[in-house]
Each structure stands twice: as structure tokens, then as C-alpha cells.
Amino acid sequence: MKKELIFLGPPACGKGTQTNKLAEYFGFPHIDTGSLLRAEIAADTENGRIAKKFIDKGQLVPVKLVGDIIKNRLKQDDCKDGFILDGFPRSMEQALMLEDIRKEIDKDNEVDFRATYFDIEMEKLISRIINRRSCSKCGAIYNLKTKAPKVEGKCDVCGVDLVQRKDDNEEVARARFDTYLKETAPLVDYYKNKNELSTIDAEGTIDEVWERLLKVVE
């Protein structure tokens, strides 16, 4: 049976770290919409330039743009047995768009669909965001307080300099939370009412959250 998983939760709640582990565990792709959008921005495409204006302000990227990117990605062959979708949907409009996308790509498939909500306090997430650093080469993510690199400022894997994303500051982070609470939080009730939601405590070590996640998605 094809397995389709989506993860919900505020920025920096740990979805990316856990979905990478889970994608390797199941053997199918982790579709990170943030990475897809950043690739468009890095390529300086027209869509990328539009997306950047919204991301820099902590706002949601226009629905049609995100939907087109997601739809094209989910049609690729490596998604035929399943996928993990991280960062989409982020609004009710996107949730309905995802349903339409899934109807189109899953015409002949039996599907196990599940939404998982990562629950954690906002102030703890603010701290995570402002202390987050990443490797520009391999994409590894670190936290100066909870997961510091072995050598200050250097990636453990590649040895290159770690960078801080421009939007990883407190002002932008709080704007992103305001957007999240307004646009995305209602999805928790939406999927709960459809009996498609599981909730896990996202506070704790990576291994602790991983064990909680496995219990609800296997």
C-alpha cells in the first residue's frame, strides 16, 4: 500500500530532522517544500524571486506557485510507493489543493494517508531558530545550544563554514509564528475531524521524538 505522510507544526519544531530519518527508514522521498522553494530562489527563476519576497517577510508563498512545484515533484517516479511531505499544506486552501493533487496522482493506488502534528511551545522554538546553523554544502543542520558542531563554525561532515539563514532571526521568526497561527494552525482541527491526524510531543532529544513518531506512522 502506498504511504503518504504530511507533517504539521510551527517553524523549527523538528519536522525536517525527523522526516529525513523517516524517509531513509521507509525508503521513499522526503519532500521538503522549503528546500524546493530555496532551489527556485537560488536559480533566480521568476518564481524564485516572487517567493523570496514573501519568505523574507515571514509570510506564506502564494498558493498556486507552491502547488505547481509540489504537484510536479509528487508525479516523479521515486514517489510511486510513498512520500513524506513537509511544509505543505500550510493553509486550508493548500489542504484542499493537496486533496485535488492526490486524487490526480493516486487514481489507481490504495493509499495510507496520515497527518502528524509536532506539538511544542513557541518560546522554545524561537530559541531553536535564532541558534540554528546549516551547512551550505550537505545541508546538515546544527543548533548552537543543543546540537553544536564539534569544531565551532564548521560542519562535522564537510568541514565547510556553517551559515545562518537570513530569516533565522527573532523578528522574522515571530512574524512567521503569527502567520502560522493564523493560516496553518486550523489544519490541525481539519485533519483531526477527518480522523487523519496524530499528535506527538516534539520536545526532547532527536531520538526521543523519533521513537514517538514511529509509534504513529508505522
Q: What is the CATH number of the domain that holds 39?
A: 3.40.50.300
Flag whether 94 is in a domain.
yes
Pairing of strands 197-201, 111-119: parallel
Give the contacts of 201 (CB within 8 A, at least 6 positions apart). Answer: 119, 120, 209, 212
Residue 180 lies in a domain: yes
Q: Identify whether 15 is a catalytic site residue.
A: yes
Distance CA 195, CA 189 (A): 10
Of the residues 114, 154, 165, 174, only one is catalytic, namely 165
Residue of 52, 128, 132, 133 marked active site? 132
pLDDT in tens, 172-197: 888 888 888 888 889 999 999 999 99
pLDDT at residue 59, as a whole number: 83
| Active-site residue (options: 73, 90, 133, 212) | 90
Q: In 3D, which of 144, 128, 149, 115 has the Cα closest to residue 203?
A: 128
Q: Which residues contact 176 (CB under 8 A, 6 or more apart)?
A: 10, 11, 58, 167
Residue 21: domain span: 2-122+167-217
165 is annotated as an active-site residue: yes
To the query of whether residue 132 is one of the catalytic residues in this protein, the response is: yes
38 classed as catalytic: no
Q: Mark whether 102 is an active-site residue.
A: no
72: in domain:
yes
Catalytic residue among 52, 73, 128, 176: 176
The pLDDT score that the predictor gives to residue 97 is 92
Q: Is residue 150 part of a domain?
A: no
Residue 149: the pLDDT is 92
* Residue 133 forms part of a structural domain: no
Kindly report the number of other CB atoms within 10 A of residue 15's CB atom.
26
R_g (Cα) of the chain, nearest Å: 17
Q: What integer pLDDT is reported at residue 189 of this predicted model?
A: 93
Where is average pLDDT lowest: 50-54, 98-102, 177-181? 177-181
Contact 9, 191 (CB under 8 A): no
- Look at the chain and report how many structural domains it folds into: 1
